[in-house]
Amino acid sequence: MDPLTWSGSLGPFLNPLMLGTVVVFGVALALNIVMNIVGMRPAEPIVNADHTISYRLGAPDYMLLAMKYAVFVFLGAAVIYILGGIVQPSMQAKGIIGAVGAQFLPVWIALIVTFVVSIKFKRRLGLYGKLFDNLVGMIGFGMVMFWVFTAIFAGMVVTHGPIDVISGLRNDPPGSAVTGVDGAFPYYLLGGDGLGRDVFSRMVMGAREVLTIAPFATLFAFMVGITLGLPAGYMGGRFDTFITFLANLVLAFPVILLFYLLVTPEIIAAGVPVYMAALLFVLPIGFVWVLLYSRYRAQPHIIKWVAVPIVLLLLLFYLGTVFRFDPIVWLATSFIGYLNQGNPVGEWMETTRQAYEPLIGINIDGNLLIVFVSVVFVNSPTVFRIVRGLVLDIKTRDYVAAAQTRGEGSWYIMLWEILPNARGPLIVDFCLRIGYTTILLGTLGFFGLGVDPESPNWGSTINEGRRLLTVYPHPPLPPALALLTMVLGLNLLADGLREESLKD
């Protein structure tokens, strides 16, 4: 089979159009900069005799319009490429761009459904709905959700296994044909890496690797930071001084050095990551309990039948995830083993402890646990300082004084009066912090810290491809662009949320 071209059958028509839009955009941008330097200004509003307002466009305005329409035409051509890839039956006619677009079909469908439903019901969706009145926020949301849906539908999008090796395609360029492998996708759409693995499939599965850790690690960091920041800012005193000192101590420690320490064999053998996980992961459970108890303490039936079961379930998850211990399964397995084998008590307890698997909990391997704990540990102090600063400001408001006058408890005031009124800055920082965490995970993967060497993590993939970057540039570029677009989308989303939250 012949290798694929980038643009397929639509290239002769669309390539000149897209090149023309790039030229128009570049020329208009350069002229706009020159006009601003020489003092030419955009049009100012003119009040007419009938009190209406009109604008007389100047040269800078025409340059901005040219840039705007050039972007629209370029994006329109890209959409035509994707649609062409979906509807055309022949791989040669699709080209690389069309074939890649066709592979992402489940993602496009999910994105369209999400946007249609969200826009239709945006007036009922609070701050999330207001996001769709903000162009920057919508663009950022679309970029983020593209990778979220890619992670969800990764099994349907990939063309090969992320660790499957075809030695004859090592460092082969994009569009290379796969021969001699029965039942495999006929092409490496974005080429092969230094070991003969499919770059496209590794980029897609890398989204799942990143989005498995970044949002949840950030969420845990926020729960830890909120749990400590609320009482520190509201109550003050020695507790505030002590926790603030610890937060500043962690922030002063070099992040990369911390990760190097946590992945050393001696530190792992000493169980330090597990102890850190035990301390950090118990704080969110306390947060949930205090949140529910402070709200429903006057309704014992809700505490008994809702709050207590939720906290017990979280404790089982905590024991199963951190210590690989499930009391229910352990007792059942131990009893059955004792009845069947008749071992002495000490022997059957130890045998059971080593053999059973927790029923409730998440099986996080050692390397992933180290990365997760490290990210939470690094981000928590920053969240703590943000929450503490917000509380110091909000606790002086009249509605807080009114809650104190009603006789509400301190935790009720912190969680149900202060925290909801600090949600705007916290939501914005949450989006930004996921971006920071994504970059941090890419950095860790780049240095090979705490990740499986075979992992399709974007950072490790970039590191593997950089060694031959000047000769074979295609292996590291797709994961680098994926990381770039993901972080850019999170920043644009945060900007949109910030603008809309300020309108509340």
pTM of the model: 0.84
Q: Which two tokens stand for residue 155?
A: 């099994």
d(C-alpha 123, C-alpha 136), whole Å: 18
Does residue 314 sit within a domain?
yes
- How high is the pLDDT of residue 35? 86
Structure tokens at 290: 């205090």
Please name the residues in contact with 47: beta carbons below 8 A apart, sequence gap of 6 or more. 53
Angle at 383 between CA 377 and CA 389, to 5 degrees: 145
Cα–Cα distance measured from residue 183 to residue 209, given in angstroms and rounded to the nearest whole number:
26
Position 451 in a domain: no
The C-alpha atoms of residue 395 and residue 457 are separated, in whole angstroms, by 43
Number of domains in the chain: 2
Going by C-alpha positions, the residue among 397, 426, 428 that lies closest to residue 500 is 428
> Do 226 and 362 belong to one domain?
yes
Task: Examine the domain organization and report whether 242 and 370 are in the same domain.
Answer: yes
**Number of neighbours of residue 340 by Cβ within 10 angstroms:** 9
Q: Which single residue is written with the structure tokens 């995830």?
A: 321
pLDDT digits 0-9 by tens, 120-173: 998 888 888 888 888 888 999 999 999 999 999 998 999 988 888 887 888 888
Does some domain include residue 11?
A: yes
Last residue of a domain, one of 83, 103, 123: 103
230 and 97 inside one domain: no
Structure tokens at 158: 């990939």
Structure tokens at 321: 């995830």
Give a yes or no: residue 205 inside a domain: no
Q: Of 53, 77, 103, which one is at a domain's C-terminal end?
A: 103
Q: Which helix (H) or strand (E) holds 450?
A: none
**Which tokens hold the place of 165?**
């090796």
The answer as to whether 308 is a domain residue is yes
Last residue of a domain, one of 88, 103, 118: 103
Nearest to 324 by CA among 352, 284, 287, 289: 352
| Residue 159 domain-assigned (yes or no) | no
Question: Which segments in the chain show pLDDT lower than 70?
Answer: 1, 41-56, 325-367, 448-453, 504
Please give the pLDDT value at position 129.
Answer: 87
Is 359 among the domain residues? yes
Question: Count of H helices and E strands in the chain?
Answer: 23, 4
What pLDDT shows up at residue 243?
92
pLDDT tens-digit readout, 68-101: 899 999 999 988 988 888 888 888 888 889 999 9
> What's the rounded Cα separation, in Å, for the pair 174 and 472?
11
At residue 338, the pLDDT reads: 53
Within a domain: 404: yes
Please report the pLDDT score of residue 212 as a whole number: 81
Given a contact cutoff of 8 angstroms between Cβ atoms, the answer to whether 284 and 376 are in contact is: no
Looking at residue 157, what is its pLDDT?
Answer: 92
Enclosing domain of residue 325? 219-423
